Structure formats: C-alpha cells, structure tokens
Amino acid sequence: MRALLSVSDKAGLVEFARGLAELGFELVSTGGTHKTLQAAGLDVIYVSEVTGFPEILDGRVKTLHPRIHAGLLATRRPEHEAELQAQGIPRIDLLCVNLYPFRETLARGASFEECLENIDIGGPAMLRAAAKNHQAVLPVCDPADYPEVLQALRTGVSSEFRRRLAYKAFAHTAVYDAAIADFLAYEKFPQTRLLSLERLPVELRYGENPHQEAALYALEGQRGPVLHARVLAGKPMGFNNYADADAAWGLVSEFELPACVAVKHANPCGVALADDPKTAWERARDADTLSVFGGVVAFNRPVDLETAMATRGTFLEVLIAPEVSPEALEWFRSKKPDLRVLVAAPQDADQREVRPLVGGFLVQDRDMRRWEELSLHYVTERIPTAQELLDLKFAWYVGKHTRSNNVVLAKDGVTVGLGTGAVSRIWAAERAIQNAGERAKGAVLASEAFFPFDDVVRAAAAAGVTAIVQPGGAKRDKEVIAACNELGIAMVFTGSRHFKH
C-alpha cells in the first residue's frame, strides 16, 4: 500500500504518517512535507523518485505527472490493474493533501503577486482525482479526520466513509476555488457570485417552526457577531433566538452612549440610552413592559451584577452583550437558568449582506450609513432644538433597524411609541401614537421613508409631537412642509431612505 502526503497545514502530520507506516503504508511526499517527515525519522520517498522527473518552476510542477495521476485514478477493474503493471506504475491507496494557504495569505493583506503564488494547482488536481476515485483511493484533506482515518484503516473502511471523505475533498476544493474567483473578480457584482456556506456546530431543534428541519450556516470567511457569539449559559439557541439577537445587536451597536435594546420578532419594542447599562435596561423595559416579556435584550456595554439583578421579574429569552462579568453570569445561571446569555463576537465592518428570495439571493452592501454622514436639510420655519436633534438622531437609528413601514416616537433618549411593519405609513404612525399615549407629548418622530401625504404630520401634531425627521423626496413635500409650518413642527430631511423588509 502506498500513501502520498503533500500538505501545507502540518498539524498532526507526523502522528498520522507514523500511524500509516505502522499499518504497512509506503510513504511518498513532496517539498516541506518530505522534510518534516524525514526530520521525524520516518522512511519517506521523495515524489521525484516516483515520477523520474525533478520539481521545476520553483516547485510549481512536481506532482502533475502521469505516474502520480494514473496511480490516483486507476480503479480496481482488471484492465486498469493490467495497465498499471504494464507501465510499472504503483497504485496510490491514500492521498493526504491540504492546499496552499491562499485564503490566509489574502486575509493578511499580501500583495496581488503573492496571492497568485499561493493558488494551488497540483493539490486540487490530486485531491479531485482521488475523490473521484474514492472507491479505490482514500482522499484526506482535513487534519481533524486523521484519527478517524487511521481507526477505519485498522477496522475496515466502509463505502459510506469513503464517500464522506470524497464529499469533504470536493467541498474543500470548491470553497478554495470560490475564494480565488472572488479575489480575481474585476467588478463589485460579477456575473457569477460564488457563496460558500459552512455549517456551524449548532444543533437546531427546527427552523422558524417545529415542522421545518434546519441547520445554521455561516458565509465562508465572515464572522457574525451573533452567529459566532459565545453562549455562556441557558438553553440551546433556536433560529428565532438567533434572528432576534442579530436584530437587537445590530441596533444597539449603533449607539455611542450606554444603550439597551429589547426586541420581539426582530423588531425593537423598547430602546433607551442612559449613563449606565442598568438604567438603560430599566428605561428600555419601561418603554413597553408588555412586549418586552419573552423578548431578547442587547447591551452595548458589559453587563455587571447590578444590571443582571435589575432583570429580575422579567422573563427574557436571550441576553447579548460585549462582556458579562463572572458575578453576573453566576447570578443568571442560578436565578435564570433558561436564559441564553451570549457574548457577541467581533464583526468585520465590510461584510456583505445576503438576503434570500425563492430561487436566489440579493447580495448588497450592509446599510452602514451613520447620522454624521447625512446631509441634513432643515426645511421648516422652526429649527429643532438641541434636545430635539439628539432625539431625532436616536429615533432615526431605531427606525433604520425596524421593519418597514415604520414610525418611531422618542423622547429623552427612550422610545415611547413604535409602529412597525405596517402596510401604510399613516397606519404605522397611528400605531406608534396609540402605543405612546400621553408620552407622545413633546416627543419627536422618525420615519425611515418619505411621507406621501401630510396626514402623518397632522396626526403627530394632534398627539403633541414637536419635531420630525424623514428622508424627503415625495411629490407632496411642499404640502408636508406647509403642514409642519402651520402646526409649529420642526422637520428635517435626511435625503437617505432606510427600508428594511
């Protein structure tokens, strides 16, 4: 039996090769792999002794040879065996290959030329050959599989195990090629966009509903703050928990001051700023004590024991924060054992957003626009006060992360009324006003899209709203502005819409 080993990642290599040698495998290897195995005292044949041809072109050509690929592609059929014998080509029974570190080289910001040099050619060719011929050759590409491969060789290799290794090999080369294609893409949205998904080690009981089987995947090379969060306590996460936590974290991360966001069904139900996380939680909770029950809360500051204890009496599904103190974690584990406590993972600023449609996807830039980037236009006779402007900014961020159509009422850094996911903007406004009640007096209003009519202005004025922020750009903007001037409301245009579907 013969094994060919040629790896960039040498983790576990020596132990694996030693195990193969003990099972009677003759070892063949290349370049750095050969040096590593020789240094470990193993008998190993250099690949040039097999091919009868030296490595050339700085190692670009060493395994691209019939004596290698015939050994990998020969089936167990008698005619193939006869051809091998006629040509004096030994069969290769196991191939261990992992590829040049192209993605790692790209990630560290290497030059274009260095990235090109780290595109593997011989490795994928051998791996695909072995995977195609997996009924005769074991293709091994993941160091994590080494112990299981050795055990299978000792006890008997099943056809199911061979097929599983073949799948991993083709998936490995497919993801590798996708990264290279993405690197070489000459435009932001090329004709073919390859999305590689990696299943996360999370056991979902079901998807959105109990009758839907599901698994959780991450985009290759990207880290989600919730997908890759550390789950410190509580029951296992479900998909809906992930979706709500993702929404909550996205909004709370917008704020510079200590903030707390409570979310229900991916929509905020209470959002507040304060001088500390405990007070922010209390203000967010009191913004809508009914909806916060069974919700998800996110903090943009570490959660300490005092903040944790302040959640007593409120049933929550998930809590996510940048850190949770050991004392707070112990309190959650003893007092709220079912509460899922998460520490958010770091997130890349330039992540793409992928939105599913039946049969396809939308790929777009994430909506990262900040308030400071807007070109604000004060379109009414009355200009917002300093406090109104702070609240307009706060409400605008909330609206940016709320399902359309939405209207947000806020006052003193707290949401007082939310109208979310309405099919009409006036209905969204009416819902927010009804939710606010007396708290609407002196509040500001934010809308993620323009007003087609002046009806929202008139409803807001009747409730006591004093200032409004919206994108502008409607045919009846003049009528809307005139209504504000008539009713003494300050209005600001941002020129920036933020639909969220």
Provide block-wise average pLDDT over 10 residues at a time, the chain (501 residues): 88 91 89 86 81 67 72 78 75 89 82 84 88 92 93 91 94 90 84 86 90 90 88 93 95 96 95 97 96 96 97 96 97 96 83 84 87 95 97 97 95 96 94 95 96 95 97 95 97 94 87
What is the pLDDT at residue 274? 97
Residues known to be catalytic: 132, 265
* Residues present in the chain in total: 501
What is the pLDDT at residue 183? 85
What is the pLDDT at residue 425? 94
What is the pLDDT at residue 92? 85
What is the pLDDT at residue 104? 83
What is the pLDDT at residue 434? 95
Judge whether 2-184 and 227-343 match in fold.
no
Are 352 and 363 contacting, i.e. CB atoms less than 8 angstroms apart? yes
Q: Say whether 107 sits in a helix, a strand or coil.
A: helix
Q: Is the peptide bond before 98 cis (omega within 30 degrees of 0)?
A: no
Q: Phi first, then psi: what are they for 148, rounded to 5°? A: -70, -35
- The predicted model scores a pTM of 0.85
Are 262 and 283 contacting, i.e. CB atoms less than 8 angstroms apart? no
Domain definitions of the chain by residue range:
2-184, 227-343, 374-493
Are 314 and 291 contacting, i.e. CB atoms less than 8 angstroms apart? no
Q: Say whether 198 sits in a helix, a strand or coil.
A: strand
Contacts of 199 (CB under 8 A, 6+ apart): 215, 216, 217
Per-residue HEC secondary structure of 201-237 comes to CCCCCCCCCCCCCCCCEEECCCCCCCCCCEEEECCCC
What is the pLDDT at residue 393? 97
**CATH fold of the domain at 374-493:** Cytidine Deaminase; domain 2 (3.40.140)
**CATH superfamily of the 227-343 domain:** AICAR transformylase, duplication domain (3.40.140.20)
**CATH superfamily of the 2-184 domain:** Methylglyoxal synthase-like domain (3.40.50.1380)
What is the pLDDT at residue 58? 67
